[in-house]
Structure 1
Amino acid sequence: MADLKAFNNMTEEEKLAHFMERIESGDKIEADDWMPDEYRMTLIKLISMHAISEIMGALPEKEWVPKAPSLRRKLGIMAKVQDEMGHGQLLLRVAEDLMAPLGKSREDIMQDLFSGDLKFHNVFHMEAPTWGDAGLIGWLVDGAAIITQTNMLNASYGPYARALQRICAEEVFHAQHGEAIIIALAEGTEAQKELIQDAVNRWWDALLMFFGPASANTTGSSKMDTTIKYKIRTKTNEDFRQDFLTKYIPRILSLGITVPDETLRFDEETGKWEYKQPDWNEFKQIIKNNGPKSKERLRLRELSYENNAWVRDALGMQ
C-alpha cells in the first residue's frame, strides 16, 4: 500500500519513467496497471486491427467451404475458419479491457470498422477465385502472419502476449493446412500446378504489402517506432518482409513455381533480398476499403452484426 501511495504521489513524468523502467526490465503490463495514453492508444489500434483482420480473414476461406474438393478438405477449411473467428473474439476481449477506462466498448470497434475508421489487413480485401488461392492464403498469408505475431510473443503488454501464445500455436496448423493443399496441387496435373502459379502471380504484391511500407519505419511518429519503443514488437516492417522472403522464396522455387519479380535476388554483401517495390498507392487505396472485395465483405460483416443483434441483447439482459 505504501508503494501504491508513493506511486500516486508521483508526477506524470515520474510515472512515465517508472513505467519505462518496468518495460526495460521485462515486466508485463496488465490491464489495470497505470500506462501512458500513447501506450494505451497504440495497443488499442494494433489489437483492434489484429482482431478485425482475424475475423475478416475468415471470409475469403469461408467462400471455399461449400466448394472444397473433398469432404476432408471441407472439414479442414471449416476448422480453420472457426479458429480464425475465435482468434478475433479473443483479441476483441483484450482490446475491450484497454478501452473500458475510456468509456468505449466492442460496439465502438465494430462501428469504426463499418465507418472505415478501423482498417484491416490488405490481403483480406483480395479475391480468392480458385482452390489455389485457398491454399495460398493458408500457406503464405498465414505464414506472413506467423512471422509478425511470433515476434510479439514476448510483448510488454501481458494480455496480448498471452493471447498470442494460443493464436500462434493454431496458426502453425493453419500454415501446414495451406501447405498441404499447395503440395497436393504441385504433385497433381499441369492444370493443378497452374492454379498455384496463377495464385502466386496475383497475390505476390499483396504479400509484400502485408508488412507495410518500409518508409513507415523511418519517421519518429510512426506506429512501428512506437511499438518498438514500448517493446510490443522488436522488428521493423522491412525486417519482417526480409524474414518472409528468406523463409518462403526457397520453398516456392522448390515447387517449380516462379516468383513474378524479375529483379528478385539475394545480395550476399548486405544479407538482404532485393525486390521490386509493390505499388504503395494501391496499398493505400485497398486499406481505405477500395480493394477488389472490400465493400462486399464489409457488407457481409455488417449484415451479420445486424442480424445477430438479438443475441447480444439477450446476453446483455442476463
Structure 2
Amino acid sequence: MYNYVEDGDSPARAHAEGDEAKYDAFMTRIEAGDKIEPDDWMPDDYRQALIKLISMHGMSEIMGALPEKEWVPKAPTLRRKLGIMAKVQDEMGHGQLLLRVAEDLMAPYGKTREDLIEDLLAGRLKFHNVFHMPTKTWADAGMVGWLVDGAAIISQTNMLDASYGPYQRALQRICQEEVFHAQHGESIIMALAEGTDEQRAILQDSLNRWWEALLMFFGPASAETTGSSKQDIMIKYKIRKSSNEELRQAFLDKYLPRVFSLGLTVPDETVHYDDKQERWIYKQPDWARFKDIIANKGPRSQERLTLRTIAYDHNRWVRQALAR
C-alpha cells in the first residue's frame, strides 16, 4: 500500500520540530503499557505501521473468505455446509471490523474504507499469501481452518496486548472466533484422517501443497531478507511481541507433533527438532516466490481480485444510497 503521508505534510510526525516532548511522552506511555486511542498524538511511523498492518489484516479476512466460499455448495453434508457458511460470515465480519479501525487511523489524511478497497483492487494493498492459493479439494477447506487459521491465531494472540487500543480490543473478539474456526477445520481433518485410504491420500496431498505457503505465512525471518525494518518498528512500539521466526517456531512447535501423530508427513526431509538449538530445522521456502505471490502473481490472485471487483462494482448503488 502506498504511503498516505506526503513528505513534510504529516499530521503527526515523530521527530518534527517541537514534537520531541510529545514523542518522549508517547514512548513513556508505550513502555508503561498504556493503550493509545485514535485521538491521541502518535508518531507518524507508528500510525503508518498500524495502517499497513490493520488494513492488510482486514483485507486478508475478506479475501480469505473466498477460498472457503468456493466449498459452500460442495461441502459433503448439510452440517458441513452450515459450518463453513458460518465461518465465511465470521471472516467477512472480521474484515469490516478491522477496516473500521484502520479508517479511524486514516482520518487525518482524509482517507476512508473506500480508499482501502480501491487500493486492494489496484494492487497497492497486499493480502496474505495463503489466500492467493487454490482450494482444490475438501481437504483444502479443512487445511485452511486447521493450519491456516491455527497460524493466524498464533500471530494474532501475539498482539492481544497491542499498544493501539482499538486494534487490541478488536483482536479480543477475533481471536475468540478464530479458535472455533480452527476447531472446525480440525474436525474436517480428523474425519479424513480416520477415513478411507483414498481420503487419507487426499489429506496428505493437501498438506504437501499447503506446506510452503504455511511456512511463508509469518514472513521472512530477518529485515535483511526483506530490506525492511517493519518487524523492528512493530516490536519497538509494542504492537507485537515476537519476530516472524519466533512465531513460525511457535507454529511448528504446536502443529508438527499433531501432524505426525496423524501419520502424515511434510514435504521436507530436512525437518527435525534440534535439541541444542532448541528449534525446528526446516528448508526455507522460496522467498522470491513469496514476493511474487503477494504482488498478486499467485495461482488464484487475479481470479479472486476479479471476483472482489465485480462485487464492489455491483453493490456500488448500495453504498451510494447509504451515503445520501
TM-score range, shorter chain: over 0.9
Q: How far does the alpha carbon of each residue in 1:158-177 deviate from its partner, in whole angstroms, 9 at most, with x for none?
A: 00000000000000000000
TM-score of the two chains, using structure 1 as the length reference: 0.95
Residue in 1 that maps onto 2:22: 15
3-state SS of 2:161 partner? coil
CA contact (8 A) 2:126 2:295 kept: yes
Paired AA for residue 270 in structure 2: T
3-state SS of 1:266 partner? strand
* 2:266 equivalent to 1:246: no
Specify whether residues 77 and 217 from structure 1 end up closer, same or farther in structure 2 by C-alpha distance, changes over 3 A only.
farther
**Identical-pair percentage:** 72
Residue in 2 that maps onto 1:152: 159
Query: Which residues of 2 match residues 217-256 of structure 1 at below 5 A?
Result: 221-256=228-263
Query: Which residues of 2 match residues 24-103 of structure 1 at below 5 A?
Result: 24-103=31-110
Root-mean-square deviation (Å): 1.2
CA contact (8 A) 2:57 2:98 kept: yes
Which 4+ residue blocks in structure 1 deviate beyond 3 angstroms?
217-221
In structure 1, how many angstroms separate the alpha carbons of the residues matched to 2:227 and 2:42?
A: 20
Residue in 2 that maps onto 1:263: 270
In structure 2, how many angstroms separate the alpha carbons of the residues matched to 1:54 and 1:226?
A: 23
Residue in 2 that maps onto 1:194: 201
Residue in 2 that maps onto 1:284: 291
CA contact (8 A) 1:54 1:87 kept: yes
Deviation at 1:216, TM superposition (A): 2.6
TM-score of the two chains, using structure 2 as the length reference: 0.93
Deviation at 1:41, TM superposition (A): 0.6
CA contact (8 A) 2:56 2:127 kept: yes
3-state SS of 1:277 partner? coil
Structure 2: segments with no counterpart, 5+ residues: 1-16
Residue in 2 that maps onto 1:4: none
Residue in 1 that maps onto 2:13: none
Deviation at 1:115, TM superposition (A): 1.1
Q: Name whichever of 111-120 and 170-179 sits farther off.
A: 111-120
In structure 2, how many angstroms separate the alpha carbons of the residues matched to 1:228 and 1:235?
A: 7
Residue in 1 that maps onto 2:142: 135
Residue in 1 that maps onto 2:131: 124
* 2:174 equivalent to 1:162: no
Paired AA for residue 312 in structure 2: Y
Paired AA for residue 256 in structure 2: I
CA contact (8 A) 1:217 1:236 kept: no
In structure 2, how many angstroms separate the alpha carbons of the residues matched to 1:226 and 1:125?
A: 27
Structure 1: segments with no counterpart, 5+ residues: 1-9
Deviation at 1:79, TM superposition (A): 0.1
Q: Between Structure 1 and Structure 2, how many residues are aligned?
A: 308
CA contact (8 A) 1:217 1:237 kept: no
